[in-house]
Amino acid sequence: TAALNSHPIYHSGLYELLSVLPSQLQPHVEGADDRSFLHAMFGERSLHSLVKVSRKPDSAQTPVFSPQGGTSHTCGLTEELQGRSANNEMRELVKLLSKPHIKSLLSVHDTVARKSYDPELPPLPDDIDDDEDSVKIIRLVKNKEPLGATIKKDEHTGAIIVARIMRGGAADRSGLIHVGDELKEVNGIPVDDKKPEEIICILSQSQGAITFKVVPGIKEDAQSKEPKMFVKALFDYSPAEDKAIPCKEAGLAFRKGDILQVMSQDDATWWQAKLEGDGNPRAGLIPSKHFQERRFAVWRPMTITTLQRTPSKRFSGLRRSFRLSRRDKKTNKSMYECKRSEQYDTADVPTYEEVMAYRRKHGDRHRLVLLVGPSGVGLNELKRKLLISDPQHFSITIPHTSRSKRHQESDGVEYHFISKHLFEADIQNCKFIEHGEYKGNYYGTSFDSVHSVLSKNKVCLLDVQPHTLKHLRTAEFKPYVVFVKPPSIERLSETRKNAKVISGKDDKNSSKPFSEEDFQEMISAAQMMENQYGHLFEKVIVNDDLTIAFNELKQTLRKVETDTQWVPVSWTHS
């Protein structure tokens, strides 16, 4: 500016000056780039026009335009013009300059000239506590317009909460404040102990920038849009051991049986989920159903090989409901004639099962109680104790047999006695849950015998082979599966000193004390069941001390009747 003012040709006009400036400055400019930049800049038509504008009203030769820019110039220009004697051109110019879009243009020019477009953020408070909920510092520049938000005091916690955001208001347009946010400070003043009216007073008194410190709430609309899909995990998962997960830290670890709320299935491989009932709103990554099924399909063949190496006798059935034992050497296999395909069933790959909360309404049928466990673990003993503890409430099914009735027996009490021919027809018609053959006679538990107990509004206790579980998992039975597990071999030897292996309840003479081998077999059979069917067990009870195991079972079954449980969604549709 100083150079401009003292230049001899200044008075002959800025316009002329502009045209000579590039050549005048030439000796001071080294680079060809810089030179062509100067030429371009001073030759720019818009610059010339501006100079013209500035010169027209300038009859007193006082420069109005200054290359420094700034508010004083753009805003001052209009005022200055108005102060001068009016001619038509000037009036037109004043009119033009007072148009809103020209004003805005000039104001943008000023902002850019002052480089004041970077927002000035308040310094981060240095007293932020690590344990404190994550806070958000919001800075709004307020004009006279109200904020467009209402606040309220939470009745329970006393916190100041944003209650409402007015559509289109300043707060809404900012997109920074939401319903449910907790207000902690306004302009550095803590508001916890203030009444809403006092806070409103602080707000209305503040002008310009207002700083809020808020704890973001869980957005209401986000909450209502939250997916309500729940799944039961049928396998254990540890992201730390998963080589495929894109970020281990973002993974969610869970155990078989955990209920997960699936928050997002947008990614085909990695879902986002939370553990049901977990207060932490942040979801974690879990493998998608499809991805996990594919991985299991790759891993599975190894599992089968291990299982098949185990001596087949360990698999031989355990028979209870029809009061026979798998232990009879002759019938060992035929009693438990379950097809290999069923024992090594790989069709149902256990990943996730979609579930829903279910609570039995008063008067509804009871859920079928299924007891599963290796032979000799004590299923009959536990059933017996439950029956005698409350015979009006618990009941068992009456099995069918094709053997002839003995004279102290009555049809429909110990057994339903039917002919071999009829029994075979019923097998064909899939009337049995399980059936087997013992000493040339058929024995079996029918689906009807379960219906019969349930229709009397009693709790039906049934012990089954685990492979039949899948046939019983229906909306009609809504089975609750309890796995009874043996304790360690040492505890078995200690607790079963006086116990007897009953090899045929239809044949009362055959019983003998447990051997070490029996215990081993019980433990490995239990292990195998758990590996293969563990995902279907809702409760595992270790039958160590009989009284303790019985009490735990009784308490569990009471809860099944009264509490809410997660059951497959398909069971709740009927």
Ligand X SMILES: Nc1ncnc2c1ncn2[C@@H]1O[C@H](COP(=O)(O)OP(=O)(O)OP(=O)(O)O)[C@@H](O)[C@H]1O
Q: Where do contacts with ligand X occur on this chain (CB under 6 A)?
A: 318, 320, 325, 373, 375-381, 495-496, 499-500, 502, 543, 546, 549
Closest CA to 401 of 412, 379, 416: 416
**Closest distance to ligand X from the beta carbon of 327 (Å):** 7
228, amino acid identity: K
Toward ligand X, which CB reaches closer, 378 or 479?
378
SS3 letters across 440-481: CEEEEEEHHHHHHHHHCCCEEEEECCHHHHHHHCCCCCCCEE
What is the rounded CA–CA span in Å between residue 463 and residue 482? 9
Tokens, residue 215: 């704890």
CB 373 within 8 A of CB 382: no
- In whole angstroms, the minimum distance from the beta carbon of 509 to ligand X comes to 15
Q: Could you tell me the smallest distance in angstroms from the CB atom of residue 560 to ligand X?
A: 21
Contact 506, 400 (CB under 8 A): no
If the CB atoms of residues 367 and 496 are measured against ligand X, the closer one turns out to be 496
Distance in Å, CB of 379 to ligand X, minimum:
4
Q: Which is nearer to ligand X, 274 or 327 (CB)?
A: 327
Using the structure block, give the residue that is written with the tokens 């818009």: 46
For residues 213 and 323, which CB has a smaller minimum distance to ligand X in the complex? Answer: 323
Q: Please tell me the number of Cα atoms within 13 Å of 211 on its side-chain side.
A: 16
Nearest to 181 by CA among 189, 195, 191, 169: 191
- The residue assigned the tokens 């780039």 is 33
Q: What is the CA radius of gyration of the chain?
A: 42
Nearer to ligand X, 16 or 545 (CB): 545
Smallest distance, ligand X to C-beta of residue 542, A: 9
Find the length of the chain. Answer: 574
Residue 260 backbone dihedrals phi, psi, to 5 degrees: -115, 140
Please state the closest distance from residue 446 (CB atom) to ligand X, in A: 19
Toward ligand X, which CB reaches closer, 380 or 441? 380
Closest CA to 524 of 245, 306, 284, 294: 306
Which CB sits closer to ligand X, 74 or 375? 375
- Between 319 and 478, CB nearer to ligand X: 319
The nearest distance, CB 436 to ligand X, in angstroms, is 12
Residue nearest to ligand X (CB): 378
- Measured from the CB atom, the residue of 22 and 373 that comes closer to ligand X is 373
SS3 549: helix
Q: Shortest Cβ distance from residue 375 to ligand X (Å)?
A: 4
Q: Which tokens belong to 191?
A: 């508001």
At its nearest, how many Å lie between ligand X and the CB of residue 372?
A: 10
Rounded CA separation 266/288 (Å): 10
